[in-house]
Structure 1
Amino acid sequence: MYLPPLRIPVRTIGARTFDFSRRVAVMAVVNRTPDSFFDRGRTFALDKAVQASFRAVELGADWVDIGGVPFAPGDPIPVEAEADRVVPVVAELRAGSDVVISVDTFHAEVARRAIAAGATVVNDTTGLSDPRLVSVVADSDATLVITHSLAAPRTFYPRPHYDDIAAEVAAFLLGRVEVALAAGIPEERIIVDPGHDLNKNTLHSLELTRRLSEIADLGYPTLAAVSNKDFIGETLDAPREARLEGSLAAAVVSMVNGARIIRMHDVAASVAAARMTEAILGLREPAYLTHNMGDVNE
């Protein structure tokens, strides 16, 4: 059994504390975009985004990730427009819950406003493309998620090539971690994400999943954002609305290989998968025990 060699396993993120040596956090996804990868604008309206956020908490999410800009290539979205999308959702969710709230952004100014509204994590999927972002996080109590990706934000990266995908992703992440540390972000506020599908083809993402322990070996909690990704669709020949089973399989393999946060769309199924995987790994006890525990079989 592989358990990641976490440098600092116990993390306090906002009002919640996680012992990542024994717990996997489930991060729900709420995208306030008209063209989001999975929900295609279902939570673009403010009230729908807020409702989805609170529903995720009701279903057991430890964490809600709120985004206002897709990762996919496309026209830039002005900082003001992005902030107008995400900050009101952060503020309303924070007013009604102590859940961990992350803002999915690469813009320092959006991160600053979201933190002021109650976000406790900045989830940057662009590998610190905005050099000012680390200063914003360093000047707060927020945690930073550093993700591997190679392209400039919202641009194409044709035919990505890696000689050794896991080694190259690990080296990239370690280099960005050093940038964050140098800016004053303590290591207990750093999380890493190998960036499944981000400037990677399906074969790359499959290999990263089975070699995820090489990322977890860096010693920082590893986030696996595998839910409904294209590598699942291409592997199973499944459209976006039929990728739940593949997403759960990828999440479980990621957890067995050291992931301690999973970013998922279907919260209830993902929470059950996480708790079951923890029990199989010996990290938690069953909720109750009656089956074959007494003189009469139950």
Structure 2
Amino acid sequence: MRQFQNLVSSRPLVMGIINVTPDSFSDGGLFASTESALRHAAQLIEEGADLLDVGGESTRPGGTPVSVQEELHRIIPVVKALSSMNTPVSVDTSKPEVMRAAIEAGAIMINDVNALRAPGALEAIAEGGVAVCLMHMQGDPLSMQANPQYNDVVAEVKDFLRQRLNAAEAAGIPCERLVIDPGFGFGKTLSHNIELLRHLDQFMDMGVPVLVGLSRKSMLGKITGNEVGDRVHASVAAALLARAKGARILRVHDVKATRDALAVYDAVNMV
């Protein structure tokens, strides 16, 4: 299994999204079964995904939590199958029990929208020896879009992420296994999201890679007027903006479109 540190040491990564859920905002449960999820994974790998992010609980605004057992039932067969094929797998979860099971199944990274704030989460990652992405979210998925407010969204998100980095390192998780995510769309208005993207380069001095997830999100719908299924072009544009401002991991639904755009960008901008 390729380790996370080896992946991020080269070019920015494209992380393909696999939602093994019946209520995903982006694909409406198209990949809710193990078989359909694995078919989609094969497609994303063929399109050039560097790693795959597997999620078994929707974190969309208003999303309903699921039990530990249901989340394990959805994702563990997918993680085991992909890991057996030497595919780098991240698991999108906030539950320590799911983290431990995913790591045992072969995941090399945990992507936690709750930034390891659940009791036992820090210990699960410290003992599991995998990478982790710490994301900022104001509130929770059920309430996060109910009038979110900030005095200075960039400073406040950055302060939160610094606190979580410090907590992770104090728990024994080394810096080289840490990633941060400003959490676009998680307790932010359109203006907050635009401000974060505009000033994304200010997060680059925190000493860890920055992951950005903008793909198909409602902010792009508000800007373009397009429904979720027609946001590919806006998603690619947002990914390129994030890349230009220093993002090291781009979490996307449309892998080939993103990889093609990045190839052009890098050909022009890289020596």
Structure 1 length as normaliser, TM-score? 0.86
2:88 is equivalent to residue 100 of structure 1: yes
Match of 2:263 among 275, 278, 296: 275
Partner Cα separation in structure 2 for residue 195 and residue 13 of structure 1: 26
1:66 corresponds in structure 2 to 54
Contact 1:87–1:117, Cα closer than 8 Å, also in 2: yes
Flag structure 1 segments of 5+ consecutive residues without an equivalent: 1-11, 284-298
Matched residue pairs, number? 270
**Which of 147, 165, 190 is residue 178 of structure 2 equivalent to?**
190
1:21-68 Cα deviation digits (max 9, x unpaired)? x51100000000001010000000110001111221111100100001
Which amino acid in 2 is paired with 1:145? C
Deviation at 1:19, TM superposition (A): 4.8
User: 1:91-170 residue pairs with structure 2 within 5 A?
Assistant: 91-96=80-85, 98-152=86-140, 154-170=142-158
Tell me if the contact between 2:135 and 2:161 (Cα under 8 Å) persists in the aligned partners: yes
Decide whether the 8 Å contact of 1:124 with 1:147 is kept in 2: yes
Checking the alignment, whether the CA contact within 8 Å between 2:5 and 2:177 is kept in structure 1 is no
* Residue of structure 2 in register with 1:289 after alignment: none
Q: Which residue of structure 2 aligns with residue 81 of structure 1? A: 70
Provide the rounded CA distance (Å) in 1 between the counterparts of 2:48 and 2:5.
14
For residues 276 and 75 of structure 1, the distance between their equivalents in structure 2, rounded to whole angstroms, comes to 40
Between the aligned partners of 1:179 and 1:220, the Cα distance in structure 2 is: 14
Matched, 1:257 2:226: no
Instruction: Please report how far the alpha carbon of residue 182 of structure 1 lies from its aligned counterpart in structure 2 after TM superposition.
Output: 0.6
Report the Cα distance in structure 1 between the residues aligned to 2:193 and 2:227, rounded to whole angstroms.
18
Task: State the alpha-carbon separation in 2 of the partners of residues 226 and 85 from structure 1.
Answer: 24
SS in 1 for 2:155: helix
Provide the residue aligned with 2:43 in structure 1. 55
Taking structure 2 as the reference length, the TM-score comes to 0.95
2: CA distance, partners of 1:274 / 1:260: 12
Aligned equivalents of 1:273, 1:83: Cα separation in 2 = 35
Q: CA deviation at 1:13?
A: 5.7
Pick closer, same or farther for the CA change 1:156–1:209 going to 2, 3 Å: closer
AA in 2 matched with 1:248: V
Query: What is the one-letter code of the residue matched to 1:57?
Result: I
Q: Is the 8 A contact 2:4 2:131 kept in 1?
A: no
Gaps of 5+ in 2: none
**CA distance in structure 2 between the aligned counterparts of 1:70 and 1:13, rounded to whole angstroms:** 27
Asked if structure 1 preserves the Cα contact closer than 8 Å seen for 2:145 and 2:186, the reply is: no
2:128 match: secondary structure? coil
Q: CA deviation at 1:128?
A: 2.2
Contact conserved, 2:144 with 2:186, CA < 8 A, in 1?
A: no
Amino acid at match of 1:280: V
Confirm or deny: 8 A CA contact 2:58 2:64 kept in the other structure: no
Task: Call closer, same or farther: CA 1:104–1:180 in 2, change over 3 Å.
Answer: same
Write the deviation string for residues 224-275 of structure 1: whole angstroms up to 9, x where unpaired.
1010011000001110011111111111011110101000001111111223
Structure 2 residue matching 1:185: 3-state secondary structure: coil
- Aligned-pair distance for 1:157? 4.7
What amino acid is the match of 2:68?
V
Distance 1:143 1:31 in 2: 20
Give the fraction of aligned pairs with identical amino acids, expressed as a percent.
36
Query: Are residues 239 and 58 of structure 1, via their aligned partners in 2, closer, same or farther at CA, if it must alter by over 3 Å?
Result: same
CA distance in 1, matches of 2:168, 2:81: 29
Contact 1:15–1:99, Cα closer than 8 Å, also in 2: no
Greater Cα radius of gyration, structure 1 or 2? 1
SS of aligned partner of 2:65: coil
Q: Distance in 2 between matches of 1:267 and 1:74?
A: 25
| AA in 1 matched with 2:78 | V
Distance 1:43 1:248 in 2: 22
The 1:15–1:239 alpha-carbon spacing in structure 2 relative to 1, beyond 3 Å, is closer
Which protein has the bigger helix share?
Answer: 2
